């Protein structure tokens, strides 16, 4: 990979981190501006960027309610993303969807499901469409993102079986952060309880399953590239388990209107009192880790890395300001878009 | 039958130690059950054709060996969950034939007072806890039942029957994960007839055998020739013994054959004639009788007597069913909700 | 002795009381007590309080199996929408097994879920979908609107021998109210008259009960006395209570957070049309959510939902009073 590409990857990771920190800070700096539930990708930046860096023109993806990082990497205007999270008319989805339901079909991001696992069959259908198109066009693949919890959904297994049977060009990317909200994987997954990687579930569907360090963007890139190549060749899907550590709580506090929302401590501390686990994860934070790696390899110098960070900060400051200034949609607009 | 299935049969046979001999009394009892199911179902086919039994009816002719051997080893406090092809499981679990037939004919004297019919046979006192009409719908129910047995501290076990078509349904995987995670005393018995309704297994999945589908979970599993009564008996006996000691879950895949269509009236345009001929030679009833004569636990006269007894029982059952009236509308309406227990307020 | 506690505390009190009272009550679900320090785990042990994977079909199906085998499971489903993932188990298994067995088995299960979280949760976590369960013979549906009912209806749901959908309203969880201590049961199929009045009957469910009471205050200032009826359970429905109120007032408004044609208001209106047509002096009015998925942005969200002003306006219309500009 050339240096420009490496620097591009690092830049996207920093942009995601800065964006997510702005979302988190909004709860303190602009109380009441974000409603409902947000879910942050901090800690998963390397996995997201490593995966999306494999994309070629025409490739598509679907994701979950933890979805801010994908459009940021794809080049969607962060102003529009923030405005959506603030419920404004200039939002990416006009204020209809909010944080959990981003979509930017023009960039190949077809959307998300707010319900665990339910986007997987949809992405599989996108893969079916791609397979048909691939017969007459340069082959494209579909990246399907979901969490470890979704692998206990029937929809996950039904989708993998069909994709394997029909050799659909899909890469199933499980971002395994080891928590279903506050429940640890070994409490709810027979494989995790047995100390096995969750990629072994691919065996049930006669497809390759691999586990990769989701904190290493280059490792993720290599693994997803191989899976995407396989899919592009028409050899069918792969299950990639990307092991990440979510650095924030599952989402902001769940409370009825009137109660100030904020992010509580990570569940490792709040529920299990395990500060050591969380601090170890912080020491392995993929963003500074990749920065250090690129500096050591001479790809970046400190000044350039700082410039990238500064540019991301300025971009996200502008996104927050844009979103705050954007008007709310007209109430009557609520009944638009119910039917095509 | 798919090539994959045949390969699985060969694998199951290869290197298999000679099973311990089944005691002659047990062997004859199994044969009696098989005859009872066979005669019952052949009569059902006639009754269905002459419109005396209505609705959707699924027969297990060709697969009776599994029902007889599995259910024949269970106690009344062991639970069986079945599906739409449930007649054999019901009779083998001890449901009286007369009430079973009356149920199929929609009579008030039926097992379920005529409200369930062929696909929904229940005989709670004998541990036939439910047959559900939606493919694989019974799987999580059985896991819950097994959890109940664990919580109650009993050594009773739960058996769930399902076809290979259910394995492609998500709830199969959800149930397997939970059964493995919570180590439930649940025995999954897959009757793999190689056909999911009207299409062959190869059109549903790339995974050769059902047992392979649970391979990620690491619990004991086996594939046996479902037409080989002794093979099913021995493997199930081993799992049952371990489940009674608190282990589980287990999966037993029985490669069977569906001699008739998916349902009665099915035109079966998807059938492979050659496979049909091969499988007819594998009729579990014929094979078990043959083996009985070879091993000396069955005389020709005994075999004929078993068939005559079964035929007579079916006719008696039919006489019972015919004189039983259909349920009244009031009876039907009264069963929609369970009544409030004494002194409690629900209404 | 009653004391003031929040709705959500009342819910948990009922669960705890019933679990103490009956050791066959089992409670599990996603994210239920992952820590061994959880008070429910400490009180009842890991056998009876479990955290489960995100496997709604298995969770709900297993509850039915547990019930068939003699237990009384309460499944925590968090959001009513998550039941949609397992519709076969909710609609086609649990409520039908008793019937199809000719009464041999019973399925005492509680499907416990929250609904109506119109607080910026956008389109997939805010629905009011209870009505789709009211038309399933064999299922019961309870919708507590007060802390006391939250406690009493859950206790009754747990003791009921049928599958019960017990839906708490997420916007009410911190509302305080008087709740009796100890054992407390609210019978199913018994409506509560929240306010008496002679001019118009307002039938409201869940969160709209409070909105209807606010509307009644607005109307009272104009000399219109509204009677507010909360059915509390939609299946069974206390139709006699509604009919006798309509007989008295001659006017009916139905308030419901669901969209119009998927609302309880629509089937209650049909029942009144069939059984109480002669009492009505004017056509009924339904005040429901507009036919749209709940939008994220606050002004649009408020626009699609019923509120006290829309309810009051509907009441003015049915009694023939002049509308009041908002």
CB contact under 8 A, A201 and B216: yes
Share of chain C above pLDDT 70, in %: 99
Burial A157-166 (b: 16+ CB within 10 A, else e): bbbbbbbbbb
In angstroms, the CA C185 to CA C156 distance is 6
Residue B7's pLDDT is what? 40
Task: List the catalytic residues of C.
Answer: 125
**Contact call for residues C65 and C108 (beta carbons, < 8 A):** no
Count of CB atoms situated within 10 Å of the CB of C20: 11
Residue B343's pLDDT is what? 45
Least Cα distance to C141 among C121, C114, C111, C116 occurs for: C111
In angstroms, the CA B164 to CA B251 distance is 12
Share of chain B above pLDDT 70, in %: 86
CB contact under 8 A, B173 and A156: yes
Beta-carbon pairs below 8 A across chains B and C:
179
Residues 204-263, chain C, touching B (beta carbon < 8 A): 236
Note the pLDDT tens digit of each residue in C295-310: 999 999 999 999 999 9
Residue B329 within a domain:
no
| Number of domains composing chain B | 1
pLDDT, average across residues A55-79: 97
Residues from chain C that touch A87, judged by Cβ atoms under 8 A, are 120, 296-298
**Contact call for residues C209 and C175 (beta carbons, < 8 A):** no
Note the pLDDT tens digit of each residue in A247-273: 999 999 999 998 999 999 999 999 999
Residue B245 within a domain:
yes
Average pLDDT, chain C: 95
Residue B25 within a domain:
no
**How many Å lie between the alpha carbon of B217 and the closest alpha carbon of chain A?**
6
In angstroms, the CA C279 to CA B276 distance is 69
Note the pLDDT tens digit of each residue in B188-213: 999 998 776 667 777 777 777 888 99
Residue B11's pLDDT is what? 40
CATH number of residue B51's parent domain: 3.40.50.970
**CA-nearest residue of chain C to A86?**
C297
Is the confidence at residue A11, as pLDDT, over 90?
yes
Residues 29-48, chain C, touching B (beta carbon < 8 A): 47-48
Per DSSP bridges, beta strands B199-200 and B195-196 are antiparallel
CA distances from B262 to B84, B226, B258, B268, B269 (A): 10, 18, 8, 8, 11
Residue-number span of the structural domain to which B56 is assigned: 3-15+36-321
Residues 137-196, chain C, touching A (beta carbon < 8 A): 170-174
Three-state secondary structure call for residue C135: coil
Note the pLDDT tens digit of each residue in A280-304: 999 999 999 999 999 999 999 999 9
Domains of chain C are: 2-180 (3.40.50.970), 192-319 (3.40.50.920)
Domains of chain A are: 3-22+29-245+260-322 (3.40.50.970)
CB contact under 8 A, A153 and C85: yes
Phi and psi (nearest 5°) for B261? Answer: -70, 180
**CA-nearest residue of chain B to C75?**
B144
Residue B197's pLDDT is what? 64
pLDDT, average across residues C164-168: 98
Three-state secondary structure call for residue B130: strand
Neighbours of chain B (3+ CB pairs under 8 A): A, C
Name the burial class of residue B269, with classes exposed (0-12), middle (13-18) and buried (19+) by CB atoms within 10 angstroms of its CB. exposed
Read off the pTM.
0.89
Residue B341 within a domain:
no
Is the confidence at residue B5, as pLDDT, over 60?
no
Residue B168 within a domain:
yes
pLDDT-based confidence at A74, cuts 50/70/90? very high
CB contact under 8 A, C297 and A329: yes
Is the confidence at residue A55, as pLDDT, over 90?
yes
Average pLDDT, chain B: 87
Q: What is the 3-state secondary structure (H, E, C) of chain A?
A: CCHHHHHHHHHHHHHHHHHHHHHHHHHHHCCCCCCCCCCCCCCCHHHHHHHHCCCCCCCEEEEECCCCHHHHHHCCCHHHHHHHHCCCCCCCCCCCCCCCCCCEHHHCEEEEECCCCCHHHHHHHHHHHHHHHHCCCCCCCEEEEEEHHHHHCHHHHHHHHHHHHCCCCEEEEEEECCEECCEEHHHCCHHHHCCCCHHHHHHHHCCCEEEEECCCHHHHHHHHHHHHHHHHCCCCCEEEEEECCCCCCCCCCCCCCCCCCCCCCCHHHHCCCCHHHHHHHHHCCHHHHHHHHHHHCCCCCHHHHHHHHHHHHHHHHHHHHHHHHCCCCCHHHHHCCCCC
**How many Å lie between the alpha carbon of B10 and the closest alpha carbon of chain A?**
20
Of the partner residues B137, B151, B152, the one whose CB lies closest to the CB of residue C93: B137
């Amino acid at each position: 990979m050339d240096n420009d590409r490496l620097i591009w990857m690092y830049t996207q990771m920093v942009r995601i981190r800065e964006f997510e920190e702005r979302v988190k800070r909004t709860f303190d700096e602009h109380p009441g501006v974000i409603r409902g539930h947000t879910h942050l990708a901090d800690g998963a930046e390397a996995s997201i960027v490593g995966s999306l860096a494999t994309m070629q023109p025409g490739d598509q993806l679907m994701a979950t309610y933890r979805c801010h990082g994908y459009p940021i990497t794809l080049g969607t205007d962060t102003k529009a993303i923030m405005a959506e999270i603030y419920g404004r008319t200039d939002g990416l989805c006009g204020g209809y969807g909010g944080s959990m339901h981003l979509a930017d079909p023009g960039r190949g991001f077809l959307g998300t499901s707010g319900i665990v696992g339910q986007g997987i069959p949809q992405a599989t259908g996108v893969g079916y469409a791609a397979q048909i198109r691939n017969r007459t066009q340069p082959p494209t693949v579909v990246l399907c993102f979901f969490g470890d919890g979704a692998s206990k959904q029937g929809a996950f297994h039904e989708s993998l079986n069909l994709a394997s049977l029909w050799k659909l060009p899909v890469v199933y990317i499980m971002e395994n952060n080891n928590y279903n909200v506050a429940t640890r994987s070994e409490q709810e997954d027979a494989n995790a309880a047995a100390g096995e990687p969750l990629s072994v579930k691919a065996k049930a569907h006669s497809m390759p399953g691999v586990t990769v360090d989701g904190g290493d963007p280059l490792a993720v890139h290599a693994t997803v590239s191989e899976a995407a190549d396989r899919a592009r060749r028409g050899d069918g899907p792969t299950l990639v388990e990307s092991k990440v550590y979510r650095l924030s709580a599952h989402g902001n506090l769940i409370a009825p209107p009137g109660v100030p929302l904020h992010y509580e401590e990570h569940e490792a501390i709040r529920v299990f009192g395990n500060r050591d686990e969380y601090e170890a994860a912080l020491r392995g934070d993929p963003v500074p880790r990749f920065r250090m790696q690129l500096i050591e390899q001479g790809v970046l110098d400190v000044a350039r890395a700082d410039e990238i960070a500064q540019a991301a900060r300025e971009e996200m400051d502008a996104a927050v300001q844009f979103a705050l200034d954007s008007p709310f949609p007209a109430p009557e607009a609520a009944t638009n878009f119910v039917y095509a | 039958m798919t090539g994959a299935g045949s390969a699985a049969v060969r694998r199951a046979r290869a290197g298999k130690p000679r099973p311990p001999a089944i005691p002659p009394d047990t062997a004859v009892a199994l044969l009696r059950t098989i005859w009872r199911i066979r005669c019952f179902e052949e009569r059902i086919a006639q009754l269905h054709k002459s419109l005396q039994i209505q609705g959707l009816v699924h027969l297990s002719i060709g697969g009776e060996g599994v029902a007889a051997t599995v259910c024949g080893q269970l106690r009344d406090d062991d639970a069986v969950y079945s599906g739409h092809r449930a007649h054999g499981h019901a009779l083998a679990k001890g449901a009286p034939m007369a009430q079973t037939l009356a149920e199929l004919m929609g009579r008030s004297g039926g097992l379920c007072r005529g409200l369930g019919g062929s696909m929904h046979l229940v005989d709670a006192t004998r541990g036939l806890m439910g047959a559900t009409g939606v493919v694989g719908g019974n799987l999580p129910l059985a896991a819950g039942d097994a959890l109940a047995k664990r919580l109650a501290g009993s050594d009773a076990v739960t058996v769930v029957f399902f076809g290979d078509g259910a394995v492609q349904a998500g709830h199969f995987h959800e149930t397997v994960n939970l059964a493995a995670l919570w180590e439930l005393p649940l025995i999954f018995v897959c009757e793999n007839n190689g056909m999911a309704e009207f299409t062959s297994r190869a059109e549903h999945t790339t995974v050769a055998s059902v047992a392979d589908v649970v391979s990620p979970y690491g619990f004991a599993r086996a594939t046996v020739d479902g037409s080989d009564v002794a093979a099913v008996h021995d493997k199930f006996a081993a799992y049952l013994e371990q489940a009674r000691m608190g282990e589980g879950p287990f999966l037993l895949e029985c490669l069977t054959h569906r001699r008739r269509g998916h349902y009665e009236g099915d035109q079966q345009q998807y059938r492979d004639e050659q496979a049909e001929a091969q499988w007819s030679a594998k009729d579990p009833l014929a094979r078990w009788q043959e083996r009985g004569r070879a091993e000396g636990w069955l005389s020709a006269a005994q075999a004929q007597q078993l068939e005559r007894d079964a035929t007579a029982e079916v006719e008696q059952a039919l006489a019972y069913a015919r004189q039983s009236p259909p349920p009244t509308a009031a009876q039907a309406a009264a069963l929609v909700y369970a009544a409030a227990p004494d002194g409690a307020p629900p209404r | 002795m009653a004391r003031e506690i929040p709705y959500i505390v009342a819910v948990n009190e009922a669960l705890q009381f019933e679990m103490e009272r009956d050791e066959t009550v089992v409670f599990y679900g996603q994210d239920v007590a992952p820590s061994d320090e959880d008070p429910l785990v400490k009180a009842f042990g890991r056998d009876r309080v479990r955290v489960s994977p995100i496997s709604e079909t298995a969770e709900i199906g297993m509850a039915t199996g547990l019930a068939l085998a003699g237990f009384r499971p309460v499944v925590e489903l968090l959001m009513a929408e998550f039941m949609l993932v397992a519709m076969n188990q909710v609609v086609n298994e649990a409520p039908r097994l008793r019937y199809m067995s000719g009464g041999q088995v019973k399925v005492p299960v509680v499907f416990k879920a929250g609904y109506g979280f119109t607080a910026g949760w956008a389109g997939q976590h805010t629905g009011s979908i209870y009505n789709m369960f009211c038309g399933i013979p064999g299922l019961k549906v309870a919708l507590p609107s007060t802390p006391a009912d939250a406690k009493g209806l859950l206790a009754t749901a747990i003791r009921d021998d049928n599958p019960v959908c017990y839906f708490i309203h997420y916007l009410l969880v911190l509302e305080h109210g008087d709740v009796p201590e100890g054992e407390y049961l609210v019978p199913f199929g018994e409506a509560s008259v929240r306010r008496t009045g002679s001019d118009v009957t307002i039938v409201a469910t869940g969160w709209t009960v409070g909105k209807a009471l606010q509307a009644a205050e607005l109307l009272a200032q104009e000399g219109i006395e509204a009677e507010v009826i909360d059915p509390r359970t939609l299946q069974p429905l206390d139709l006699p209570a509604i009919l006798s109120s309509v007989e008295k007032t001659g006017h009916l408004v139905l308030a419901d957070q669901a969209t119009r044609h998927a609302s309880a208001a629509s089937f209650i209106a049909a029942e009144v049309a069939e059984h109480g047509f002669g009492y009505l002096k004017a056509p009924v009015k339904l005040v429901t959510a507009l036919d749209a998925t709940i939008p994220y942005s606050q002004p649009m969200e408020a626009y699609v939902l019923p509120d006290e002003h829309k309810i009051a306006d509907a009441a003015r219309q049915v009694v023939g009073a002049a509308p009041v500009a908002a």
